[in-house]
Amino acid sequence: MKHWLRSPVVWTASGLAAGALLIGLNVSRGGGVIAGTPAIAAQASVALPDMPDRWQGKVDYAAFDARITRMMRDPEMVGLSVATVENGRLAFVRGYGFADREAQLAVTPQTVFRWASVSKGVAGTLAYKLAQEGKLSLSAPLSSFGTSLKLSGGAENRLAIPDLLAHRLGLSRNAYDGKLESGDPAPMLRNMLSTVPQQCMPGDCHSYQNVAYDAFSEIVGNATKMPYEMAAVQKLFTPLGMTSAGLGMTNLTGAANWARPYRGGRVQTLSDAYFRVPAAAGVSSNIVDLARWMQAQMGQAPEVISPGVRAEIHRPRVATYRGGRSGPDSLIISHGYGQGWRSHIYDGHWLVGHGGAVNGYRAAMWFDPATQNGIVMLWNSGSTRPFRLPYEFFDQVYDRPFSDWIDIDKDPRFVDPGLVAPLPVADPTILAD
């Protein structure tokens, strides 16, 4: 099957131009935090841009904040954290609504949410970092790593890590997610994947996975002799100064302020299902650390994530054939998937990122590697409306005409402020842990 990705003509102007700008800055490590200017942690010593007098950048953040506040009147919305980066620097941080509505606990920049499938980019980054260190081979067959993964026709004997991380296993989409949610052990399910109907020939098409994708956590465990969770923290989160980031349910519920899951306006029972596939969906953190992760992917921590690693993991390997004719989708072409990272071209600009969804939580990250502008969002409900918010941010960055991508201007629920009570915002006196 011929993919648009295999023609260098399609994304040379965008992807290669962006890759050419993935140039690291001189930094040094000390105490587990990156130092340097304008490296990530250099901004840790200054006040967070979490109040109007601290917002900075090209975007009109007063107007942006007002639109988000109106969006929060969506009956499905409960709590939301947003952060933006302009020219590599943190420009805007804000919490909206409730982490725990019943307890009237407001969302602050320190509230911990689940990343859901945004976690997959951690797996991709860790894979290529470990390969760079000589600790695993990216060309060795998956079967050589002693995982529980079994595929139809023994395809695990010829597919390699890049196929796993690009979802090129040939399986039907989201194979055995339902069984995982019912409590079945992930290794047992991976061992049964050889009986799953095929969507295409293994190695040919993109078919999104969670259970199969988490075979990478077994690969890391066998290659490094440490649990995947520990490897991610030691190799990535600690060196980047991401002190709230971790894997597993206790990293979420052990936080002083953590977001409870909601669906249809009702609080949900927290499930461990996708925590049991950590490489696919196991990470949680506050919004500041998610923004720090995005800055590292922009190139601001090259001693932790090298330019070579970033170029390889962001580079699209397979077409995802996603798209639409309405909203911001009408301006998007060339949907692709790299190594735990999605990408597409929005009005001529190559954007990299990922979205995520598990019961009661949603997450999104999108950034422009060439200009080092981007946005991250975490929220604790099933609303899909915030997924379109990044394009209102990028429209301002790119000097595009305004578009109501989040669909609030024609609905009276979002226009009349008297329809709902004011939502809480972060109290700057309680931000410090």
**Domain end position, chosen among 193, 224, 255:** 224
Residue 258 and residue 387 in one domain: yes
Residue 267 and residue 351 in one domain: yes
Residue 10 and residue 138 in one domain: no
The residues near 298 (Cβ < 8 Å, ≥ 6 apart) are: 85, 88, 367, 369, 372, 374
Q: Phi and psi dihedrals of 53, rounded to 5?
A: -75, -5
What is the per-residue pLDDT for 40? 66
Residue 232: inside a domain:
no
**Helices then strands, each counted (H, E), the chain:** 14, 16
Give the pair of three-digit tokens for residue 74: 């969506």
> What whole-number distance in Å separates Cα of residue 147 and Cα of residue 149?
5
Measure CA of the first residue to CA of the last residue in the chain; give whole Å.
53
The residues near 143 (Cβ < 8 Å, ≥ 6 apart) are: 149, 154, 156, 157
Residue 195: inside a domain:
yes
Residue 29 and residue 144 in one domain: no
Residue 103 and residue 250 in one domain: yes
Residue 314 and residue 424 in one domain: yes
Structural domain containing residue 329 = 4-121+243-428
What is the per-residue pLDDT for 41? 57
Q: Across the beta sheet with 361-368, what order do the strands follow?
A: 105-106, 89-100, 79-86, 373-379, 361-368, 349-358, 342-346, 332-337, 318-319
Query: 284 in helix, strand or coil?
Result: strand
Residue 107 and residue 46 in one domain: yes
Residue 355 and residue 255 in one domain: yes
* Buried b / exposed e along 400-428 (16+ C-beta atoms within 10 A): eeeeebbebeeeeebeeeeeeeebbbbee
What is the per-residue pLDDT for 302? 98
What is the per-residue pLDDT for 416? 56
What is the per-residue pLDDT for 27? 26
Domains held by the chain: number: 2
What is the per-residue pLDDT for 325? 76
> Which residue in 310, 248, 368, 220 sits closest to 22, CA to CA?
310
> Which residue in 59, 60, 28 sits closest to 42, CA to CA?
28
Query: 41 in helix, strand or coil?
Result: helix
Give the pair of three-digit tokens for residue 185: 């052990």
pLDDT means per 10 residues, the chain with 433 residues, are 33 35 28 42 75 97 97 97 98 98 98 98 98 97 98 97 98 97 98 95 95 98 97 98 98 98 97 98 98 98 98 97 80 96 97 98 98 98 97 98 96 68 41 31
Residue 161 and residue 256 in one domain: no
> What whole-number distance in Å separates Cα of residue 317 and Cα of residue 336?
7
CA atoms within 13 A on the CB side of 299: 24
